[in-house]
Structure formats: structure tokens, C-alpha cells
Structure 1
């Protein structure tokens, strides 16, 4: 056999092997994350409203963990796990490394946040655990520098695919998350293997059942319907921008006031959430909010639910609590779609689904993964509409997003005067003169 074929088969075998290991471990740990989150959120917190008053003290605990154990120096570089998904993205670009302890720390922080009523999601924890597992595999097998990046991406894929029961979307998400305008197809095999293995471990081996959202009716394919979808997708894109800007603004302001003391930030953030909860008079916007998210597909929800969830999540995550941002964005987009149904003649469950996907797409800057997520989540219904919604949301959200470390390899459009190779964070600084 020629040498080039031996190298090809050897490399392919390694990617399948590493992807399988990562998928196996991440599938198991993600199932643990999902089950514990459900237990803490549904069986404990939902039946004990008084736990919300402990949220500020939970913030102190999270802050202490990150300040005491979250910072790791490697090769004269500080790797701060409090940077969350931004650290994972920097690791994909080879700027930093993901510490092995990142996974356990984010899990513990997420459990505390969910138990005491912070508004958060779960995919952030799954992604960071996936990256932590990949980092462990890299060090144990002494993987070369180029393949290290690919395995970090496969850890992202495994976490996302397992967390949402969407292995195809997970495959692409790992390749798409780190950069705008570039897909590293070299990572396709390990990302594919890791995502599918993690998904099947979570569902088939451990028997976890993911949430089921149903579109009852898809409108007929007409020019008018497509124009309506384009119009609402612009609105969903703009709400994702509002969320991202407020989220980063709260973080910067709280860091400035607390002089980057994570314990102080999270304590006062917890106090604000407690006050807001008392003002609202319910805990519908604490925790993950899955009950109202599911309700929005079936019946009308409070018209300003999307705004309340936005505020609760911005303060929770901006002040130093941890978790994920996908489910809060799902909630915001879905309930906004529910509200828009009053004014726009589209089937309610369909409009809610468009809002869920388009808002996530605008925030994450991952149009292909968002489209594939819609296909897996809604069983392929409304394919053309979701494709258009993702494109429109991606374009109109501009160069903003959940993760400032995302690199802009190609601007979204020539209409945006943005240089190549910059991160979203640097682009924002240049705009504001910071």
C-alpha cells in the first residue's frame, strides 16, 4: 500500500478513535448534567420558592470557586475558566488552552445557579465539559498542535449534540462556533463522530428524553408568507443584538464596580435578581424557563415575557453566574414570536419556532448549525422558511454576538465595513473608541 494511503487511513483512524472517546465521555457527562439540572430545577427549586433568597450566597460560592480554582497558567499564558465559551474559542484558535478542571467547575457553577433560581441554560456547561474532556485526551495521548484544535472542536460538537439531541447540528456547530465566515472541514470527521456518539450515549444508553416542541401548522409557500418571515426574522435578529450588547455591558459594568471581584459581582447580581423576582411576583423567569417555553407553542403567554427573560438572563450571566445562553435565547425568541402572533397573520406555533431559531442564530452567529437544529428539532417542517430566517437573522445581527472571542474571517456582507481577522470584541472596541 502506498505511503500516502497509509497516512490517510492512520489519520482517519485516529480521528474516529479520539472522536469516539470524546463522544463516549461527553455523552455520559452531559446526561449527568441534564438529569441533575432537571432534578434541581423541577423537583427541588420549583417546589421551594424560598430558595431564591439564597441566590446571592450562591453567587459568592461561584465567585470563590472561579477566583480560587479557575485560573491556570500554561506557557506563560493565563487561562481563566471564568471566560467560559470565550476561552474555548481562544483554544480553537491556539491562543490559549482549556484546563482539565474547566468541566467540573462549570458543572458545579451551573448546578448552583439553577438550584437558587438564576436565569440560565445548559449548553454552555456541556460545551465547556466537552472541551475539558478534549483537553484531557490531548494531553493523555500527546496529540500534535494542529489536531489539538480539531479535538477541541469535536468536544464542542459532542456537548452541543448531546445537550439538545441534535447530532447533525452539533457536528456543524463545533466547526462553526469559533469563527464567522469559515468552516474547518478538516474537523468534520472527529466532530461528526463525537457528536453522534455523545448523542446516542445520552439517549440510547442512558435513556434521556429531550424536550419536544411541535409545529402544528406551516403556512403555504407564498410570497406574502416569505415576506412576513423575513420581516419577523429582522426583529428576532435585533432582539439578539440587544441581548448580546446588554449582556456584555452588564458584565463590563459589574467588573468595573467590583474591581473584578467575582464574589462581589455575583452577590449583588443575585440581590438584583431577588428584587426583580419579588417585583414580578412569580418565578416564571428564573431558572431555565422550560415550562413557559413549551407553553408558548400552545397558547398565549404574557406579552412582555420575552423582555422579562432578557433582563433576568442579562443580569444573571452578566454578574458572574454561569450556565448556557441558548435556552434563554430560545425562550426570548419563542415568547417574542408568541407576542408577534397578535399582529402578524402566521400560525402561532410556527412563528414561535421561527423566533426560537432565528434569535439563537443571531446571537450565536452560526446560521448553518441553527438551520440544522431547526430541522432536527421540528422534524424537517418548514425547511424553506427556516433557511431564510437563519440567513436574514445572521445578516441583520451584524458583527455582534454571545462570544466576543469569535473571529471574523469574512465579514457577513460588504455593506459592513469590518476588517478580516478581527474578533468581535476588537470590532466593538474600535466602534466605541475603547
Structure 2
């Protein structure tokens, strides 16, 4: 009994140490890249605000981005889909060029006033760097899946300063509701270390002020620190947000398909 218990604890300790040793350097590298990205993004945004005429050159920026991916992108142009495919079914891997390419092209987009979120950039930076380390560490396919998931958690958590959310995002969203429990600890460690790395570089996140909401509710004479009215509003809003996301996703795919069929010269697609 004692021997079995010792064996279980030893296996757990070995697992924790092994994945900490693997995840920490990956997270530091990702956090450093994210810090550079956020710093460049801040410079690009300020530069655009002081040079508003750059907005008229947005089509030129689109052509530059298109050419960069055409000449140097290779499979990197598949973006997030490539990383998700690698997690579910490891194949040729995630190209090393994906991280610098998405960083540069996102900054270019912001310089010219384009709309580009940070989450896609964070996922691709995290996945690309994690795949690079997986090759250096000569990880097995099942371990490569874990480190890719941890890399995504690190990128997402670091870019928004939300390590717990980054871990949950990587674990649940990418697995479509099925949590990879073997990746739980690596994701938490990677996301936290990456966020601390961004802070260590002196890069700060945007803070949003939210007013306090009265949540005291009485039920059967008992005081509850929750408001059922607020919860109801959150549920309704969540449904609306989900439907809006679905419409946006469908619209994006439709526009891409129509553009690909209608415009024969591919570099003109971002111009139109």
C-alpha cells in the first residue's frame, strides 16, 4: 500500500518537474516575443494617430502583407487553422517563420489603420515558438501536442495579461469543449510565466475600468452575494454575442470565397 502510494506521488512529481522544465523556457521565449509585439503595436498605434493620412494607404499595406505571405509564408498563411490541425493531428509542423511574419504583418495592419485583433497573433506566436522548442527537445508526437497547447496558452495569456483565461482558452476552445487534462499543468505554468515575462520587460497592458455592480440579493430571507437580474442579462448577452460571432464567421468565409472567385489577380484582393 505504502509502496503504491509512493509510486503514485513519485510519478506525479516527475511529471510536474519534467513539464515545468519544458514549459518555462518556452513561456519565457513566447512572453518576450509578445512583449516586443505589444511594444511595437503601441508605437504603431500612436504613429497612426499622428499621421491620419496613412489610412488612405491601407490597400498598399494589404498588398505588402499579401506579398510577404506569398513570398515567405509557405504554410504559415493558414494561420490558426494550421496550429489547431497540428494539435489534433501532428504532421509537417508549424513553420518557424510564422511568429515573425504574423508579428510584422499585424503591426503593418495597425500602422495603416486596419482592423486586426491580438488574439490571432498571440496564438500563432505561441504555436510557432512552441513547435520550435518541441523540435529542439525532440518531443514525441503526444508531448508535442501538449507543448503546442501550452504555447497557445502562453501567447493568449501574455498578450492580454490574463494567464488563467489563456490556459482555459487553450485547453477548452481548441479542443471544442473537451479538456485535455494532461495539458492542464503545462498550460497554467506556461501562461503564468509568459505573463510575468511581459511584465518583467516593462510592457503594460491596457486597463479597463468597470464600475462596481450591486450584487446583493435576498432569497427566502437569506442574503446572496449575487444578482439574478445581472445573471439573466449576462445569459441573454452571451446568446447575442454567440450569434453575432457566428454571423461574423459566416460572413468572413463568404467574402473570402466570393473574392477568390471574382478577382483573378490574387494581389488585388486586399485592394478591393
| Superposition TM-score tier, normalisation by shorter sequence | 0.7 to 0.9
Distance in 2 (CA, whole Å) between partners of 1:141 and 1:229 is: 44
Structure 2: unaligned runs, 5 residues or longer: 216-225
Distance in 2 (CA, whole Å) between partners of 1:154 and 1:110 is: 22
Alpha-carbon spacing, 1:219–1:238, altered in 2? closer, same or farther (3 Å) = farther
Runs of 4+ in structure 1 over 6 Å off? 1-5
Q: Is 1:16–1:190's contact at 8 Å kept on the other side of the alignment?
A: yes
Alpha-carbon spacing, 1:129–1:257, altered in 2? closer, same or farther (3 Å) = same
Distance in 2 (CA, whole Å) between partners of 1:62 and 1:116 is: 12
Tell whether 2:17 aligns with 1:13. Answer: yes
Distance in 2 (CA, whole Å) between partners of 1:188 and 1:267 is: 43
Instruction: Report how many residues are paired.
Output: 257
Equivalent of 1:236, from 232, 236, 241?
Answer: 241
TM-score, normalised by the number of residues in structure 2: 0.87
Partner of 1:47: 50
Distance in 1 (CA, whole Å) between partners of 2:254 and 2:178 is: 27
Equivalent of 2:71, from 68, 71, 76?
Answer: 68
For the aligned residue pairs, the C-alpha RMSD in angstroms reads: 2.0
Equivalences for residues 211-360 of structure 1 within 5 A: 211-220=206-215, 221-259=226-264, 261=266, 263-268=267-272
Tell whether 2:200 aligns with 1:210. Answer: no
Which secondary structure state, in structure 1, belongs to the residue aligned with residue 208 of structure 2?
coil
- Deviation of the 1:236 alpha carbon: 2.3
Distance in 2 (CA, whole Å) between partners of 1:223 and 1:194 is: 36
Which secondary structure state, in structure 2, belongs to the residue aligned with residue 99 of structure 1?
coil
Greater Rg by CA: 2
Deviations, residues 348-367 of structure 1 (Å, cap 9, x unaligned): xxxxxxxxxxxxxxxxxxxx
Q: Is 2:90–2:141's contact at 8 Å kept on the other side of the alignment?
A: no
Distance in 2 (CA, whole Å) between partners of 1:105 and 1:196 is: 25
Which secondary structure state, in structure 1, belongs to the residue aligned with residue 270 of structure 2?
helix
Alpha-carbon spacing, 1:55–1:135, altered in 2? closer, same or farther (3 Å) = same
Tell whether 2:189 aligns with 1:186. Answer: no
Q: Is 2:90–2:145's contact at 8 Å kept on the other side of the alignment?
A: no
Equivalent of 1:138, from 115, 134, 139?
Answer: 134
Partner of 2:61: 58
Distance in 2 (CA, whole Å) between partners of 1:171 and 1:233 is: 21
- Deviation of the 1:170 alpha carbon: 1.0
- Deviation of the 1:40 alpha carbon: 0.4
- Deviation of the 1:58 alpha carbon: 1.2
Q: Is 1:219–1:225's contact at 8 Å kept on the other side of the alignment?
A: no
Alpha-carbon spacing, 1:14–1:255, altered in 2? closer, same or farther (3 Å) = farther
Partner of 1:23: 27
Relative to total residues, which structure has the larger helix share, 1 or 2?
Answer: 2
